[in-house]
Structure 1
Amino acid sequence: MVTIQLDALGARYGKSLRLRDVTTPAFEGGDIVAVIGPNAAGKSTLFRRISGLLHGPGQVHVDGASRGRNAICYMPQDTSANAVLTVYESALLARKQGMGWSVGDDDLACIDETLAALGIADIAFRNVGELSGGQRQLASLAQTLVREPEILLMDEPTSALDLSRQVEVLGLMRELARARGMVVLIALHDLNHALRFSDQAMVIADGRLVACGPSPDIITSDLLRDIYHVDARVE
């Protein structure tokens, strides 16, 4: 089973340390981990550090992955697919990244199944540049999922979707995490979604990890008051 654990992780932009001392228990395959916190708290920076796009102190420990560090896929909040490619072509290009260009039946089946699961099979042959913001976000998610990651980092993957589609996509991610044994770290602003769909929660504030554990234990009225400065009850 794949696991990922962060040990005193930090991240630098130039000489400035923007993320520091993030240490977690080992998250195991099948876990959905909600990464929550205010705007500009450091959630995107954390994902960029884990994926190797930023440098800094500390270690990312990945065990049990068949592809080592290549097992990690990062879906940023702002994606940039080639606008002249179709949804299907962009998914195929992502699927074959680092694998050579011979296309087999298994590649085509994976793409077909992924597009169907995301409810976008009907736009498979439309150019990405013609799509709405929500459709582009689903196409980007398809590009990530067809790579069959073992550890998936998702930065606000449902921000452009309406409520029903958000629920569908997050439910699908929960099913896939368990079926494939993936660890999914997902940045969310909606704490109701975090409570409903995640097993664990990490709270990032001011570039530091301030809480980590089972979601019902972490997402509480105290969290709303102390981190979000909102006086409300979590039922």
Structure 2
Amino acid sequence: MVALKLEDVGAHYGRVQVFEAISTDWLKGGTLTALIGPNAAGKSTLFKRIAGLLKGAGVVTVEDVREGFRPICYMPQDTGANAVLTVYESILLAAKQGSGWRVADGDLSEIDRLLSALHISDLAFRDLGALSGGQRQLVAIAQALVRKPEVLLMDEPTSALDLFRQIEVLEFMKRLAMAEGMAVLIALHDLNHALRYCSQTLVISGGKLLASGATLDVITPAMLRDVYRVDARVENCTQGRPLVIVDGTA
């Protein structure tokens, strides 16, 4: 099963150091890991550094990558839209990047499967530019998954989705990670989503990794006060699920 590890990883834009010396234990496949922190904490930059889109200090190691699978795929928060391509064409283009342009029956079957799994088959021949923000986000997920990554970095993949679609996507990704042994890192602002769906959580703030580990051990009243500046509790609901309840600003 794939595993990802960061050792003293840093990144900067020009002379501005965004973060430095971020190290993690092995993040193993089969589960979702949440990346949380306040706005402008460097979550997107960390994903770009892991994906190799930015240079910086330190080492990113991916082990046990299977033949035919791509080590890392990054799904950015702002996916943009190209009105020239249909949804189907955009996913096919993503599938063929770096692997030649010959299209096999298996490529088309995989696209059909993803469209069906994400419940967007009806969008297949719509122009990307005609889609809503939420629809484009679902297409971006299909574009990422069709590349068959071992490590998938998802930058706020539910930010434009309604509540039903948020739950649907997170449940789908949790099942997929378990079934495929994929390591999925998801930047989230909704901490209750992290508590419900992510077994591990990383907290980044002020250019540093402040905490990492089991989600229930990381999302605590002390962390919420220090990082998010709110007075909050973590309590179980009537069904036994942990929830963050915010009482006010700290």
> Which 10-residue stretch deviates more, 218-227 or 127-136?
218-227
Q: Distance in 2 between matches of 1:216 and 1:190?
A: 15
Q: Which residue of 2 aligns with 1:192?
A: 192
Is 1:228 the counterpart of 2:215? The answer is no
Shift, 1:16, TM fit:
2.4
| Distance in 2 between residues matched to 1:106 and 1:20, nearest whole Å | 42
Deviations 1:63-118 (A, max 9, x none): 11136994100000001242211110100000111111111111111101101111
What does residue range 161-176 of structure 1 map to in structure 2 within 5 Å?
161-176=161-176
Q: How far apart, CA to CA, are the structure 2 residues paired with 1:43 and 1:67?
A: 29
Aligned pairs (5 A) from 1:1-235: 1-66=1-66, 70-235=70-235
- State whether residues 199 and 214 of structure 2, in contact with CA within 8 Å, keep that contact through their aligned partners in structure 1: yes
Unaligned runs of 5+ in 1: none
**Which structure exhibits the higher relative contact order, with contacts defined as CA atoms closer than 8 Å and separated by 6 or more residues?**
1
SS of residue in 1 equivalent to 2:234: coil
| TM-score normalised by L of structure 1 | 0.97
CA RMSD of aligned residues (A): 1.3
User: In the alignment, is the contact (CA less than 8 A) between 1:81 and 1:90 conserved in 2?
Assistant: no
Larger relative strand fraction: 2
Q: For 1:104 and 1:55, how far apart are their aligned partners in 2?
A: 35
Deviation at 1:31, TM superposition (A): 2.1
Q: 1:67/1:18 Cα in 2 relative to 1: closer, same or farther (>3 Å)?
A: farther
Measured in 1, the distance between the counterparts of 2:68 and 2:202 equals 24
Aligned length: 235
Distance 2:162 2:81 in 1: 21
Contact 1:2 1:62 in 2 (8 A): yes
Match of 2:243 in 1: none
% same residue: 62
Q: CA deviation at 1:156?
A: 0.3
**Partner SS state of residue 61, structure 1:** strand
Amino acid corresponding to residue 43 of structure 2 in structure 1:
K
| Structure 2 Cα separation of the partners of residues 152 and 111 of structure 1 | 18
The whole-number CA distance in structure 2 between the counterparts of 1:168 and 1:68 is 28
**In structure 1, how many angstroms separate the alpha carbons of the residues matched to 2:81 and 2:105?**
24
